[in-house]
Amino acid sequence: MTSILKHSRFIISLLLILLFVGCSSFRTFYYKKAINFERSRADLTLEKVSISEGEIVYLRNNPSDQAETILMVHGFGADKDNWILLARSLYQTYQLIIPDLPGHGESFKSMTANYSINNQVRRLHEFLNKLGLSTVHIMGHSMGGSIVSQFTSQYPQIVKSLVLVCSGGGHGTKSEFDILREQKGENPLIVNTYEDFKEIIHWAMEKPPYIPGPVLKVMAKQKIARAEIDNKIFQEVHIDESLTPVMSAIQAPTLIIWGQKDRLIHVDRGAVIQKAIPNSKFVVLKDIGHSPILEAPKKTSELIIDFYQTNKSL
């Protein structure tokens, strides 16, 4: 039991770092071993497809032909593998499609591309067309929530249901992150030093697990190398982040999940989003931060499965 617990904590450590690194070039032995093991536990394989601007790399499983599809969209600076722990509870029943968004992970990235919400929505639509998917259940975390909300509003005929986890796009009480940016002009999500990187972990989780120093240093180096494109993506995303009017047009059944102690996007934003989306349910997870999909994957998956079963006639 102790060895299993240690292994789980190590996996969470790696996935937590990926939440903000989103860099596929880190390929140490332990990273590959841990990630490949976790992918295999969810029957996930790595695939790729080309859209008009470049290549999108994604994970998918192989369920029965009758399985419905869930599209899982990660957040800012993150990676497809952030969904692995959640995928373990869903892969036997659903087809899972988990892409690296353009600008992230192993998908195409360029300093000349534009990564606004609307542009990412357009790319996701082209991505689904390439895969021949006409209807999906869709979920998004953080920035990914902003993207899938806009997608659902723009393509209501495609989206059967929507799950938002600590989603961007709403108005409400300012978070610690908002106040820091306003008062000091600082953005802790853009990493320029090793110390910056250590601090970012505490923004992501209420109780982050132990991360070995050598792993931390290698990951910090990779994250520092992403500072320029991360800053570009952050600025372009926030140009059109205010999506409350868009959310009011969403008709798909919607589940909103939030960590009570989210420092990046205040939990009150979830209540605002619930009021904006007519057919929605809002659940708060006590003592959890910005990353329920990593901090509380079991509870998060239980909420999602119950939500799907309640709306199984869709």
Q: Where are the domains of the chain?
A: 2-310
Q: Which helix (H) or strand (E) holds 270?
A: helix 268-276
Our answer to whether residue 142 is catalytic in this structure is yes
- Distances in Å between the Cα of 217 and the Cα atoms of 22, 212, 220, 293, 305 are 15, 9, 5, 24, 37
| Active-site pick, 13, 107, 116, 142 | 142
Q: Decide: 281 and 163 in contact? Cβ < 8 Å.
A: no
The pLDDT-based confidence of 218 (bands split at 50, 70, 90) is confident
Q: What is the mean pLDDT of the chain?
A: 87
Q: What is the pLDDT of residue 56?
A: 98
CATH architecture of 2-310: 3-Layer(aba) Sandwich (3.40)
Q: What is the pLDDT of residue 64?
A: 76
Q: What is the pLDDT of residue 199?
A: 87
The more confidently predicted of residues 80 and 6 is 80
Give the DSSP letter of residue 24: T
Q: What is the pLDDT of residue 31?
A: 65
Mean pLDDT of 5-19: 53
Our answer to whether residue 25 is catalytic in this structure is no
The more confidently predicted of residues 5 and 170 is 170
The more confidently predicted of residues 242 and 36 is 36
pLDDT value at 223 more than 80: yes
pLDDT value at 27 more than 50: no
- Distances in Å between the Cα of 251 and the Cα atoms of 111, 185, 254 are 35, 37, 8
Q: What is the pLDDT of residue 1?
A: 34
